[in-house]
Amino acid sequence: MEPGRPDHATVRAALALACRAPSVHNTQPWRWRIGDRSVHLYADDSRRLPATDPQGRDLLLSCGAALHHLRVALAAMGLRAVVHRLPNPAEPHHLAAVEFAPHEPTEDEVALAGAIPRRRTDRRRFSSWGVPRAVLLMLEDRASAEGAIIREVTGSQARFDLTTAVAQAAAVQEADPFYRAETSAWSGTHADDEGVPAANALAGLPQHGDVQLREFPGGELVDERAGEWEDDGAALVVLGTSSDDRLSVLRAGEALSAVLLEATVSGLATTPISQPLEVAATRDRIRSAVLDDALCPQIVLRVGWAPFQTAPLPATPRRAVEDVIEGWERV
């Protein structure tokens, strides 16, 4: 391998892991361009969901998660990613330029990279076991390292405000026929390489105690704990940033990835919840009533333990790496 220039197999393997990042409705709204000694991340606005994500916040958050996945993958392969975010103001879809430097992988980096193919968005009911404070502090550290803050929602009033905002956002969106059509188009897939597969979406409206999750039409996943008396012990956390510009949202996506991968390493199950932040009124309610106007909310996360002996979820499909990159001839 030429110094500062990874070979074809290394770049392809790193990008394959980067493309395992979570994205809104599994739209995978990213493109990669290969330079002589760099990889460039672009937002693919053709894959933005105009009814669900009119401002493109979910798209930018998704791309940030892919960028962090790439950084983790490269680190585990012995390359430090030197990232230049939003490098070209005249080209707003150009989100990052990534250059390479030699790097000695740490055990933590290898573990995080190993968690990428194992991470799932789990919409099922979780165990009644609470998440230890020490584990939540570790997740807070991961978010902080990426320039974001996660705050656990505790106290009856704050939790009521958050879960009410989630339900209100769902009601607003469900009243919009364009939203319903859009969600249906990206839901209940079987053989596609995009969208939310039927096997990963719960049949019916997911409701776990006071927490309502987004309903995906065509879901076929059966919740084995539905109807049980035991409480769902999931923690609810809000990931926020001090500012709300495009760079902050992109960094929030990187922080989301960092938290999800650390949670996976720790054996936790996770569910990102973007719905209440897609509606302006409920987003404002979370900022004021839950975060005391101290942070700009970017994503809500449900974190907990999957019940013992729960059947593992299948991996959600991804588009072929070759379909989302340009410039292989330069590698």
- Domain borders along the chain are 8-119+317-322, 133-304
Check if CATH label 3.40.50.800 holds for domain 8-119+317-322. no
Q: What is the pLDDT of residue 2?
A: 59
In this prediction, residues 185-214 reach a mean pLDDT of: 93
Q: How confident is the model at residue 232 (pLDDT cuts 50, 70, 90)?
A: confident
SS3 content of the chain, % helix, strand, coil (to 5): 40, 20, 40
Q: How confident is the model at residue 42 (pLDDT cuts 50, 70, 90)?
A: very high
Task: Evaluate if residue 173 carries a pLDDT over 70.
Answer: yes
Task: Evaluate if residue 330 carries a pLDDT over 50.
Answer: no
Strands (E), the chain: 30-34, 38-43, 79-85, 94-102, 149-152, 187-189, 196-197, 207-208, 211-212, 235-241, 269-273, 296-304, 325-326
In this prediction, residues 133-147 reach a mean pLDDT of: 97
Q: What is the pLDDT of residue 310?
A: 85
3-state secondary structure of 80: strand
Of 35 and 113, the structure prediction assigns the larger pLDDT to: 113
| Contact residues for 93 (Cβ-Cβ < 8 A; gap 6+) | 42, 43, 44, 45
Topology alike, domains 8-119+317-322 and 133-304:
yes
Would you say 209 and 232 are in contact if contact means Cβ atoms under 8 Å apart?
yes
Main-chain dihedrals φ then ψ at residue 4, nearest 5 degrees: 75, 5
User: pTM here?
Assistant: 0.96
Check if CATH label 3.90.380.10 holds for domain 133-304. no
Would you say 17 and 310 are in contact if contact means Cβ atoms under 8 Å apart?
no
| Contact residues for 128 (Cβ-Cβ < 8 A; gap 6+) | 230, 231, 232, 233
Task: Evaluate if residue 229 carries a pLDDT over 90.
Answer: no
Cα dihedral 236, 241, 244, 247, rounded to 10, equals -120
